[in-house]
């Protein structure tokens, strides 16, 4: 896939993330566990503690930033995948289930946007390397 197409796809992912973030902002104070009957709550169990969601978010952040840094340093072509949109928006659901989305919304939103911006900067750097190298990836 050409770098311009990858850039366009990354921007579409960012737009969808922003749209999903708007929806998450509207339901940030919603208590998911008060809507279920007692029988469903027994199957679901207690909500996850926020510290586990924090650890999962930190782990995801590490697993995205590390390969991104390697791609930047090596000058490799970056691939943008739709599944990361699902991963990044799933943290809204995780915090909603734990009952702490209102307190952690800004953190999830900021991490998601920063990751998209870092990916876009990496793509733009790859495009500039291609232009400087007369069509050859540096």
pLDDT in tens, 29-46: 988 778 888 888 888 888
**Predicted local distance difference test score (pLDDT) of residue 138:** 45
Are 36 and 44 contacting, i.e. CB atoms less than 8 angstroms apart? yes
Instruction: State pLDDT tens for residues 16-32.
Output: 999 999 999 999 998 87
Q: At what angle do helices 3-26 and 101-132 cross, to 10 degrees?
A: 170
Q: How many domains does the chain have?
A: 1
**Predicted local distance difference test score (pLDDT) of residue 22:** 97
Are 48 and 58 contacting, i.e. CB atoms less than 8 angstroms apart? no
Out of 77-86, 111-120, 122-131, pick the least confident. Answer: 122-131
Mean pLDDT, residues 122-136: 71
Q: Give domain status of residue 137, yes or no.
A: no
Closest CA to 71 of 63, 79, 82: 79
Q: Can you give the residue range of the structural domain that contains 8?
A: 3-132
Q: How far apart are CA 77 and CA 129, in angstroms?
A: 11
Q: How far apart are CA 131 and CA 138, in angstroms?
A: 9
**Predicted local distance difference test score (pLDDT) of residue 93:** 93
- Whether the pLDDT of residue 132 is over 70: the answer is no
Closest CA to 32 of 49, 45, 17, 47: 47
Q: How far apart are CA 37 and CA 94, in angstroms?
A: 20
Closest CA to 65 of 8, 112, 9: 112
Detail the DSSP E strand segments found in the chain. Answer: none
Instruction: State pLDDT tens for residues 96-121.
Output: 989 899 999 999 999 999 999 988 88
Q: Which two tokens stand for residue 84?
A: 């990361």
pTM of this prediction exceeds 0.95: no
Higher local confidence (pLDDT), 63 or 138: 63
């Amino acid at each position: 896939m050409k770098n311009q197409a990858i850039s366009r796809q990354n921007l579409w992912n960012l737009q969808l993330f922003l749209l999903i973030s708007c929806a998450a902002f509207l339901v940030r104070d919603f208590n998911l566990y008060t809507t279920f009957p007692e029988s469903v709550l027994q199957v679901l169990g207690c909500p996850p503690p926020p510290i586990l969601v924090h650890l999962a978010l930190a782990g995801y952040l590490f697993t995205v930033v590390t390969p991104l840094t390697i791609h930047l340093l090596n000058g490799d072509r970056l691939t943008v995948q739709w599944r990361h949109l699902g991963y990044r928006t799933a943290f809204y659901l995780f915090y909603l289930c734990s009952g702490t989305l209102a307190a952690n919304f800004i953190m999830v939103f900021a991490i998601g946007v920063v990751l998209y911006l870092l990916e876009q900067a990496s793509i733009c750097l790859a495009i500039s390397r291609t232009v400087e190298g007369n069509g050859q990836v540096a």
